[in-house]
């Protein structure tokens, strides 16, 4: 009980790392599927 480490900062860093990982995954997915999604929307607009 003499020394209790503070862990609030550690939890914040872990949440930040998770958010960065999710952002990287989303960017990679959009980079890979972006052109295909754009083509789908272009086809829909042309059909109208």
Q: What is the pLDDT of residue 12?
A: 84
Residue matched to tokens 């009980």:
1
Provide mean pLDDT across the span 33-43.
91
Helix and strand counts by DSSP (H, E) for the chain: 1, 0
Quick: pLDDT tens for 2-37.
666 666 667 788 899 999 999 999 999 999 998 898
CA 1/CA 34 separation, integer angstroms: 55
Confidence of residue 48 (pLDDT cuts 50, 70, 90): confident
């Amino acid at each position: 009980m003499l020394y209790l480490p503070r862990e609030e900062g550690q939890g914040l860093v872990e949440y930040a790392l998770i958010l960065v990982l999710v952002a990287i995954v989303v960017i990679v997915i959009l980079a890979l599927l972006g052109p295909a999604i754009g083509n789908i929307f272009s086809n829909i607009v042309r059909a109208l």
